[in-house]
Each structure stands twice: as C-alpha cells, then as structure tokens.
Amino acid sequence: MNTVLGRRTRILAATTATAGLLFVAGCSSDDDGGDSGKQTTAGGVTLAKAGQLTTCTHLPYPPFQSEIDGKVQGFDVALIDLVAEDLGVKQEILDTPFENFKTGAFLNSGQCDLAAAGMTITEERKKNVDFSDPYFEATQAVLVDKKSGIGSFADLKGKKLGAQAQTTGEDYVRNKGLDPVSFESSDAVLNGLRTGQVQAVVIDYPVVQGWLKDKANAGAFEVADNINTGEQYGFTVKKGNTKLLDAVNKALGAAKTDGTYKKLYEQWIGPYDENAASDENAASAASASPSAS
C-alpha cells in the first residue's frame, strides 16, 4: 500500500455488514482536535465521534476493502462492523495513505478510532500502534504472465518485478536482493502486470485469489509460486487504548466461536481454511517474517 501523503482523504459512512456501506465524499468535519464530538459507550470505549466507530483504511485492497457498486465492502469491513454493532454505533470509513497505519498518525491525532487495512503484524509496527489478536493468516504469491517462463520465486532474478509500495511483500523481495518496481496500490500492481510493465508481481495471495476469479485474468496469468512468510493480519488502535482493543478482540473471538467468521471468510476470501482463524500470539508471526501489506 502506498504513501501518497498528498492524497485527499475521503469519508465513507458505513452501516452494517449485511446492509452494506454508503459512500459519502467529503473531508473530516472534526478539525479542531477538541473533545466536543466524542462519545463514551456503555462499555467505556471512548470514540472520536459520537455515534460512530471511525475506521482508517486504504482503498482499494480487495477482498479486504474496496468499493463495490458504490459501497465500500470487504472482509475487514464486515469484521469491524461486528465491533461497531457491539458498541451500539455504526462504522464510518476514512480512506487514508497507508503510511499512516505504520506510524499510527491518524490514530494519535484522533481522526480515527482504529485502522483496518489488511496490515501485517510486525515488531516494528508494534512500536507505534497496538495490534488486535491475529484475524488472518497471509501468504505471498508470485503472479506471472503464463508466457513469462517464470516457474518459481527463484526465477525472478533478472526479471522485471512489481510490488506494492510500503508493504511487507515489497520488503520481502528487497531483502532477497531483488529491486522491484513500486506501485501505489494493489490495483496498480496488477494492472502493471496486465499491461506488461512488469513480468511478475509479488503480492498477498488473497488479493490474487480474487483477481483470478475473472476468467480473462485466469486465462493469461497464473500463480508461479507461494511464499509462506508466516504473516498474520491484525487491526490496530492507538497505543494504550485497551478498552477499544478489548472490544475488537471480544468481537473477533465471538465471531470465530459462533461461525460468523467462517461465513464471512467464505463470502469474501473463498473456501475456509482452519488456519486462517489462528489465535496464535501475534508476536510469533512478527518474528517469523520480515515481510501482505
């Protein structure tokens, strides 16, 4: 995901996971940094704005969050809707540069309550934000043109490779001595491959799964290799915001227990993988991989 800091932010008002999300263009109305619009819920969670759980994300990143038929939808969106429902409020989404997720800038400024952006848990990032329990196991995929002659990660040496800027996938290939072309979004990465700007891309496998559902894409491109980097995704809150973190973890735990997680996984990701709902400590994933987004 990218670091285009000049990009205009957008507010995307959300309802529930079942009703979908309504796109609302505009800028944040809470510019004075004051507490007048804040609300403390019955559970003791203080929200940036009354009546809503404000989520920072970065679009597009299907199948986790993207605009579909004018609404922002996806796996992350649906899971955070569960948190909002528990708190008795509605989710509202703010589209921001990905760099803010790594630094926690929008959380620290009070513009967002939490961040949900298909973000990998790493030790470096935990210095700036607090992560929820892991909610998704992620691997990297080497996606290539079927005519490229590339059959594995090892074949990428000397090839023109693409990756998404500021992601752990990009970090991974750089750590392996490769010099990828950086694209600002997952859509841009895949379009770079489609248009021949690069011969292969390394990107999160769930993104590839969704992209290859299009018959035209599947006819011309294929996964040459899967890289198990031990990555896990987590949602983030401002450091020290234990009340909200507890609320997020409670909602995730309940969803995994009552079957809601499995239902949403199958809706947005594909056939359910028991490992996807792993409750292993996030730190183990962070130490297992220098490198999902």
Strands 90-95 and 10-14: antiparallel
- Are 237 and 113 a contacting pair, CB within 8 Å? yes
Residue 18 has pLDDT above 50, yes or no: no
pLDDT at 31 over 60: no
35 and 61, same domain (yes or no) = yes
Residue 3 has pLDDT above 80, yes or no: no
Are 155 and 79 members of one domain?
no
Highest mean pLDDT among 5-19, 175-189, 242-256: 242-256
- Structural domain containing residue 145: 139-231
242 and 99, same structural domain? yes
Global pTM reads 0.71
Shared domain check, 112 and 244: yes
Task: Calculate the CA 218 to chain-centre distance.
Answer: 23
Q: In whole angstroms, what is the distance from residue 150 CA to residue 224 CA?
A: 7
Distance between CA atoms of residues 201 and 186, nearest Å: 10
Q: How many domains does the chain have?
A: 2
pLDDT-based confidence at residue 178 (cuts at 50, 70, 90) = very high
Residue range 23-27: mean pLDDT, rounded:
31
Q: Mapping DSSP to helix (H, G, I), strand (E, B) and coil, where does residue 85 land?
A: helix
Structure tokens at 77: 């969106």
* Domain end position, chosen among 198, 216, 231: 231
Mean pLDDT of 170-196: 93
Task: Please enumerate in sequence order all residues whose Cβ is within 8 A of that of 242, keeping only pairs 6 or more positions apart, or say none.
Answer: 130
d(CA 122, CA 120): 6
Residue pLDDT, tens place only, 85-137: 999 999 999 999 887 888 899 999 999 999 999 888 999 999 999 999 999 98
Task: Tell me the C-alpha distance between 174 and 163, whole Å.
Answer: 10
Q: What is the pLDDT of residues 232-265, one digit of tens each?
A: 999 999 999 999 999 999 999 999 999 999 999 9
pLDDT digits (tens, 9 = 90+) for 265-274: 999 988 886 7
Per-residue pLDDT for 140 more than 80?
A: yes
Query: If we measure between CA atoms, which residue out of 19, 134, 123, 114 comes closest to residue 57?
Result: 114
Tokens 């009703």 map to which residue?
19
> What is the strand order of the sheet 21-23 is part of?
21-23, 10-14, 90-95, 52-57, 114-115, 236-238, 129-131
Q: What is the pLDDT of residue 277?
A: 58
Residues 243 and 118 placed together within one structural domain of the fold = yes
Backbone torsions φ then ψ of 136, nearest 5 degrees: -160, 135
Name the pLDDT band for 82 (thresholds 50, 70, 90): very high
Question: Do 15 and 160 belong together in one domain?
Answer: no
Alpha-carbon Rg for the chain in angstroms = 19
Rounded distance between C-alpha atoms, residue 91 and residue 81, angstroms: 6
- Regarding whether 239 and 227 lie in a shared domain, the answer is no
Share of the chain above pLDDT 70, in %: 80
Provide the pLDDT for residue 276.
59
Q: What band does 42 get if pLDDT is binned at 50, 70 and 90?
A: low
pLDDT of 292 reads 46
Q: Which residue has the tokens 């949900």?
A: 116
- 286: pLDDT strictly greater than 60: no
Q: Is residue 203 part of a domain?
A: yes
Domain boundary pick from 202, 231, 260: 231
Dist. CA 143–CA 199, nearest whole Å: 9
**220 pLDDT higher than 80:** yes
Say yes or no to pLDDT of 12 above 90: no
Q: From 231, 246, 271, give the residue that closes a domain.
A: 231
Average pLDDT, the chain: 82
169 and 208 fall within a common domain: yes
List of E strands, the chain: 10-14, 21-23, 39-40, 46-47, 52-57, 66-68, 71-73, 90-95, 114-115, 129-131, 136-145, 161-164, 181-183, 200-204, 221-233, 236-238
Three-state SS at 11? strand
**pLDDT at 21 (0 to 100):** 35
- Same domain (yes/no): 33, 125: yes
Give phi and psi for 56, each to the nearest 5: -85, 135
**Local confidence band at 180 (pLDDT 50, 70, 90 cut-offs):** very high
Instruction: Determine the residue type at 289.
Output: S
H or E element at residue 276: none
17 with 120, same domain: the answer is yes
Cβ–Cβ contacts within 10 Å for residue 46, how many?
A: 14
